[in-house]
Amino acid sequence: MRIRELAERINAKLAPDSQDIEITGLASLADANTGELSFYGNPKYLTALRKCRASAVLVPATFNEQIGSVCLAVEDPAEAFAAILPLFARPPIVHAPGIHPSAVIASDATLGEGCSIGAHVVIQKNARLGARCIVEAGSFIGEETTLGDDCHLYSHVSVRERCTIGNRVTLHNGVVIGAEGFGYEISEGRHKKIPQTGIVQIDDDVEIGANSTVDRARFGRTWIQEGTKIDNLVQIGHNVTIGRHCILCAQVGISGSTRLGDYVTLAGKVGLSGHIEIGDQVMIGAMSGLAKNVPPNTIMFGAPAQPIREYKENYALLKNIRKLYNRVKALELKSPKED
């Protein structure tokens, strides 16, 4: 595709003498070669941009440095790159409507129009699927569970009994929804199981990454609200509530009955203890551990987590603790010894 065609599609500014350059593919700044297009949107990648061998690069409208590649100036390079990507990608896999002969579907289960049910799928009694759902090979949908329209369950997903899934929900390979919460009490010297009688409710436009788990509530519901995106290998305990449009990165663990507000971001390996509340638009840095409530619009970091400014101040002092120790030892050696 000629670069002028790409520029027209994304409303990019392009020098007149560059109109006929041919673009054959897309690549990262580090991997791009002649004929390919890349994008630059973060100053920390400026060195990589200067070394880039791409024929053209999407850059912010304010970018004014001279580089070896042709620049296409746009408001948001990452967004423009995403808009161009389908033009060079392979066609998406199409799942034709129908039921594979090996699928086992209860006679009273309800499937909406245009559903695609893969090999060895099990759908139990009184389950209800909306229109155009895709359930790939080896997945399981339990009794009285409901899925909305346009859901996509990849292979080996399990949604257990009586859970409620909204519209346009995507569950990637190995996700388990509605396993029993981890609840025990000591009785006569043994761990006695506490019944987990609640459900999981997942609202519209939620996406959950591979091998993540969402436990059913002890009573009531474990609730993931609209638009939240969850990475791979995330564990969400019983009776947790996660607000709208949150981001949970890989290996996050949330203990029971914790509540997250809207637009919360938990970076990788964050751990939250149970029965705490996290306000709207809170950000918690990678590998942080948190055991107390956090007010809205706060950035937390560390283990135990603390406000980011406080963490930076304490960390700077901690780096100098060896010097301080040596100074104190030296002063002790100089001071007169007590009888």
- The answer, yes or no, to whether residue 320 has pLDDT greater than 90, is no
Alpha-carbon span 150 to 249, nearest angstrom: 24
- The answer, yes or no, to whether residue 5 has pLDDT greater than 80, is yes
Of 83-87, 142-146, 243-247, 288-292, where does mean pLDDT reach its minimum?
83-87
- The answer, yes or no, to whether residue 68 has pLDDT greater than 60, is yes
Task: Look at residue 280 in the predicted model and tell me its pLDDT.
Answer: 98
Alpha-carbon span 164 to 235, nearest angstrom: 18
Model confidence at 337, pLDDT cuts 50, 70, 90, reads: low
Superfamily of domain 3-88, CATH level 4: MurE/MurF, N-terminal domain (3.40.1390.10)
Task: Tell me the pLDDT tens digit for each residue of 196-235.
Answer: 999 999 999 999 999 999 999 999 999 999 999 999 999 9
Burial of 327 (0-12, 13-18, 19+ CB in 10 A): exposed
- Tell me what the mean pLDDT of segment 148-159 comes to: 98
The domain 98-311 having CATH identifier 2.160.10.10: the answer here is: yes
Task: Look at residue 317 in the predicted model and tell me its pLDDT.
Answer: 84
* 85-89 contacts, C-beta under 8 A, 24 or more apart: 85/26, 87/1, 87/6, 87/9, 88/25, 88/26
- The answer, yes or no, to whether residue 336 has pLDDT greater than 80, is no
Give CATH 3.40.1390.10 domain extents, the chain: 3-88
- The answer, yes or no, to whether residue 25 has pLDDT greater than 60, is yes
Active site residue 172: no
Task: Quote the tokens at residue 118.
Answer: 């893969």
- The answer, yes or no, to whether residue 339 has pLDDT greater than 60, is no
Task: Look at residue 121 in the predicted model and tell me its pLDDT.
Answer: 98
- The answer, yes or no, to whether residue 13 has pLDDT greater than 60, is yes
- The answer, yes or no, to whether residue 111 has pLDDT greater than 90, is yes
Alpha-carbon span 280 to 294, nearest angstrom: 9
Percent of the chain with pLDDT over 90: 85
Give CATH 2.160.10.10 domain extents, the chain: 98-311
- The whole-model pTM stands at 0.88
Model confidence at 338, pLDDT cuts 50, 70, 90, reads: low
Alpha-carbon span 134 to 103, nearest angstrom: 13
Task: Look at residue 169 in the predicted model and tell me its pLDDT.
Answer: 98
Task: Catalytic residue, from 152, 156, 172, 238: name it.
Answer: 238
Percent of the chain with pLDDT over 70: 99
CA distances from 297 to 102, 221, 245, 280 (A): 51, 26, 15, 6
- The answer, yes or no, to whether residue 15 has pLDDT greater than 80, is no
Task: Look at residue 20 in the predicted model and tell me its pLDDT.
Answer: 82
User: Residue 91 has what DSSP assignment?
Assistant: P
- The answer, yes or no, to whether residue 105 has pLDDT greater than 90, is yes
> Average per-residue pLDDT in the chain?
94
- The answer, yes or no, to whether residue 299 has pLDDT greater than 70, is yes
- The answer, yes or no, to whether residue 156 has pLDDT greater than 60, is yes
**Which residues have a Cβ under 8 Å from the Cβ of 7 and sit 6 or more positions away?**
13, 14, 72
Task: Tell me the pLDDT tens digit for each residue of 39-48.
Answer: 999 999 999 9
